[in-house]
Amino acid sequence: MSDASSGLPVCGVVGLGAMGMGIARSLKRAGLEVVGCDVSAASRKTFEDEGGQCVAEASALAPRCDVILLVVVNADQVMSVLFGDGKDKDDGLATQLAAGSLVIQCATVAPSVAEALGQRLDQAGLLMLDAPISGGAAKAATGELSVMASGTPQAFAKAAPVLDAMAATVHHLGDVPGPGSSVKLVNQHLAGVHIAAAAEAMALGLRMGIDGRALYRVITQSAGNSWMFENRVPHILDGDYRPLSAVDIFVKDLNIVHDTGRELRLAMPVASSALQQFTAASGMGLGREDDSAVVKVYAATGGVALPAANDESAQ
């Protein structure tokens, strides 16, 4: 059910968190009709106050939308939205969408989950684009995400105006669901390892008595730099752990990496080490803090003094 006046799809965005809200705003800014969906009344009100439309239940999107974007946390939430709780075969969104509707699956899930989901939606007469995203809340807000996408030509064609509105780069990685999630998993492997390594390196420098800001200036101009070091270390220097991407996200994603490696009989000791550090941070009660808070594991176990938010050196 495209917008009759424009011929453009009507989009339902399930999950109005930091990423989903940015995507919904970007789609709306591009002239697409958007209906947001979130269990949080506060998130719905935020989007409604900006002129957006919202519903509390995903099933309410079915009669209004022909493209659904799933910007939720994990595979369990994806399955719950699409297929319900299993008690009622008709309580999931997938059973209520019109034939030919498109599901754009943006959550980080195991490749095997994406493959099975694509087959299940195909059997239901629906299209699926396996389309995990990268770029964080800032890029979601500006419509400049990187999308790692795989799906049929029909799915890509129907998704085109949506992808144009939300992404700076769309990587076409295959003609069936699965490769998109596979590439995202490699990205999350590297991102988690690089954040953990950046935290460990800063802990080493601080423990040796090096001024943190001087260390940051040197490393960002040297061969040891990484995108994650450059992006996350300022959070440590400012003592600011408000979540842009939380510790528990990498507990989840690196567990998927670990499980996929086990399925493939591929040992990944570096990823496993990073997972242990994020798991330790979560166990310390830091799961909802910014992922850079993994540095606090070193503070707790290695006597590392971290900059505080009101520390003059962190201004």
**For the segment 164-181, what is each residue's pLDDT rounded down to a tens digit?**
999 999 999 999 999 999
Assess whether pLDDT exceeds 70 at residue 315: no
Is 58 a domain residue?
yes
Distant-in-sequence contacts of 32-35, Cβ < 8 A, 24+ apart:
32/3, 32/8, 32/161, 32/162, 32/165, 33/3, 33/8, 34/10, 35/10, 35/11, 35/61, 35/64, 35/65
Tell me what pLDDT residue 312 has: 42
Tell me what pLDDT residue 313 has: 39
Is 3 a domain residue?
no
Last residue of a domain, one of 176, 196, 215: 176
Same domain, 147 and 286: no
Same domain, 73 and 40: yes
Same domain, 207 and 223: yes
Listing DSSP states for 12-52 in one string gives EEE--SHHHHHHHHHHHHTT-EEEEE-S-HHHHHHHHHTT-
Same domain, 152 and 206: no
Tell me what pLDDT residue 6 has: 63
> What number of other Cβ atoms are within 10 A of residue 289's Cβ?
21
> What number of other Cβ atoms are within 10 A of residue 265's Cβ?
6
Judge contact between 294 and 277, C-beta under 8 A. yes
Is 19 a domain residue?
yes
Tell me what pLDDT residue 3 has: 62
Tell me what pLDDT residue 90 has: 63
**For the segment 190-243, what is each residue's pLDDT rounded down to a tens digit?**
999 999 999 999 999 999 999 999 999 999 999 999 999 999 999 999 999 999
Task: For residues 197 and 243, give the distance between their C-alpha atoms in angstroms, rounded to a whole number.
Answer: 19
CATH number of the domain enclosing 131: 3.40.50.720
Is 73 a domain residue?
yes
**How many domains, the chain?**
2
Is 273 a domain residue?
yes
Last residue of a domain, one of 127, 160, 176: 176
Tell me what pLDDT residue 248 has: 97
Mean pLDDT of 15-26: 96
Mean pLDDT, rounded, of the chain: 94
3-state secondary structure of 116: helix
Is 116 a domain residue?
yes
Same domain, 144 and 250: no
- To which residue do tokens 């946390």 refer? 73
Assess whether pLDDT exceeds 90 at residue 25: yes
**For the segment 36-87, what is each residue's pLDDT rounded down to a tens digit?**
999 999 999 999 999 999 999 999 999 999 999 999 999 999 999 999 976 5
Tell me what pLDDT residue 32 has: 97
Is 303 a domain residue?
yes
Residue 236's domain comprises 183-314
Same domain, 19 and 167: yes
**For the segment 279-288, what is each residue's pLDDT rounded down to a tens digit?**
999 999 999 9
Among 28, 184, 252, 296, the active-site one is 184
Q: If pLDDT is split at 50, 70 and 90, which confidence band does 309 have?
A: confident
**For the segment 140-164, what is each residue's pLDDT rounded down to a tens digit?**
999 999 999 999 999 999 999 999 9
To the query of whether residue 89 is one of the catalytic residues in this protein, the response is no
**For the segment 265-308, what is each residue's pLDDT rounded down to a tens digit?**
999 999 999 999 999 999 999 999 999 999 999 999 999 999 99
Residue among 261, 251, 183, 191 nearest 227 (CA): 191
- Compute the chain's Rg from CA coordinates: 21
Same domain, 133 and 253: no
Burial tier of 165 (Cβ tally within 10 Å: 0-12, 13-18, 19+) = buried
Helical (H) or strand (E) element with 199: helix 179-207
> What number of other Cβ atoms are within 10 A of residue 46's Cβ?
18
CATH number of the domain enclosing 219: 1.10.1040.10
Is 1 a domain residue?
no
Q: What six digits make up the tokens of 118?
A: 């694509």
Same domain, 143 and 222: no
Last residue of a domain, one of 155, 176, 197: 176
Tell me what pLDDT residue 5 has: 58
> What's the predicted TM-score (pTM) here?
0.91
